[in-house]
């Protein structure tokens, strides 16, 4: 029961976070107007705004004009809902902070194909004092990724900067597991959705899900 409440609390925060980032990006006030359909501009009421449930119940469509809503808000609601469930199992504030900051990067990567440098900097500042033992292995992994990126031009610098604090948090073994899992997710989703033509893949959403699953695995194993 408590985990269900935590899920919906996290999902509500995910919905709010998506709204804030979308409106800041579009230069619209966060407070007014109330949420509306992007296509027919009909104001959405409570029935349309229940995190996760409304999107599933309406199959991602506007009830008034049948417009297909972007799944970004739904993805973020689900992601932060599960993040808070993870937190409820461990009370690990550091993991929760990572998942919230990753949530912000998730959305900016989807919307603008970029992340704000302040995000990895916040994470490094908060994680480093608690994970000094993982510094060398994290620097090692990050250097390898920078070299791969320089030679192959695959990963963006922002992605690698964001990976450094995650390596710090996870340590070497779980970092390798997390990298393999995240890359596998990219391959599976893109094979299924056949989005090969898109030149630049937003990688942070896959890293975010990869981190969430890895963190859940750590909780299960401990």
Interacting residue with Zn ion among 5, 24, 40, 148 (CB under 5 A): 40
24 versus 40: smaller Cβ distance to Zn ion: 40
> Would you count residue 61 as binding Zn ion (CB under 5 A)?
no
Query: Encoding tokens for residue 43?
Result: 């104001």
Binding region for Zn ion (CB under 5 A) out of 51-59, 64-72, 107-115, 161-169? 64-72
By CB under 5 A, the count of residues binding Zn ion is 7
> Would you count residue 45 as binding Zn ion (CB under 5 A)?
no
Binding region for Zn ion (CB under 5 A) out of 58-66, 143-151, 154-162, 174-182? 58-66
Binding region for Zn ion (CB under 5 A) out of 11-19, 34-42, 96-104, 145-153? 34-42
> Would you count residue 39 as binding Zn ion (CB under 5 A)?
yes
Interacting residue with Zn ion among 65, 139, 187, 191 (CB under 5 A): 65
Query: Encoding tokens for residue 210?
Result: 């990869």
Packing angle of the helix pair 157-193, 118-127 (nearest 10 deg): 110
20 versus 39: smaller Cβ distance to Zn ion: 39
Minimum CB–partner distance for residue 11 and Zn ion (Å): 22
Interacting residue with Zn ion among 6, 17, 21, 62 (CB under 5 A): 62
> Would you count residue 36 as binding Zn ion (CB under 5 A)?
no
> Would you count residue 67 as binding Zn ion (CB under 5 A)?
yes
Minimum CB–partner distance for residue 65 and Zn ion (Å): 3
In the block, tokens 């359909």 appear at: 37
Binding region for Zn ion (CB under 5 A) out of 20-28, 54-62, 142-150, 207-215? 54-62
Reduced 3-state DSSP string for the chain: CHHHHHHHHHHHHHHHHHHHHHHHHHCCCCCCCCCECCCCCCECCHHHCCCCHHHHHCCCECCCCCCECCCHHHHHHHHHHHHHHHHHHHCCHHHHHHHHHHHHHHHHHHHHCCCCCHHHHHHHHHHHHHCHHHHHHHHHHHHHHHHHHHHHCCCCHHHHHHHHHHHHHHHHHHHHHHHHHHHHHHHHHHHHHCCCCCCCCCCHHHHHHHHHHHHHHHHHHC
Q: Which residues bind Zn ion (CB under 5 A)?
A: 37, 39-40, 62, 64-65, 67
């Amino acid at each position: 029961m408590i985990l269900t409440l935590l899920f919906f609390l996290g999902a509500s925060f995910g919905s709010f976070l998506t709204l804030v980032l979308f409106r800041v990006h579009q230069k619209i006030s966060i407070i007014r107007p109330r949420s509306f359909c992007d296509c027919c501009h009909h104001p959405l009421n409570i029935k349309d705004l229940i995190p996760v449930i409304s999107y599933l119940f309406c199959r991602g469509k506007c009830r008034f004009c049948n417009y297909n809503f972007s799944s970004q808000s739904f993805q973020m609601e689900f992601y932060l809902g599960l993040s808070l469930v993870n937190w409820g199992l461990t009370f690990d504030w550091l993991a929760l902070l990572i998942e919230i900051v990753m949530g912000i990067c998730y959305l900016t990567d989807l919307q603008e194909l970029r992340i704000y440098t302040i995000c990895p900097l916040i994470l490094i500042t908060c994680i480093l004092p608690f994970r000094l033992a993982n510094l060398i292995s994290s620097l090692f992994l990050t250097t390898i990724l920078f070299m791969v990126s320089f030679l192959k031009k695959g990963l963006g610098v922002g992605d690698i900067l964001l990976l450094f604090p995650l390596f710090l948090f996870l340590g070497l073994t779980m970092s390798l597991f997390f990298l393999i899992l995240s890359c596998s997710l990219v391959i599976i989703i893109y094979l299924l959705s056949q989005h090969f033509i898109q030149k630049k893949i937003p990688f942070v959403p896959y890293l975010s899900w990869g981190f969430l699953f890895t963190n859940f695995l750590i909780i299960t194993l401990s």
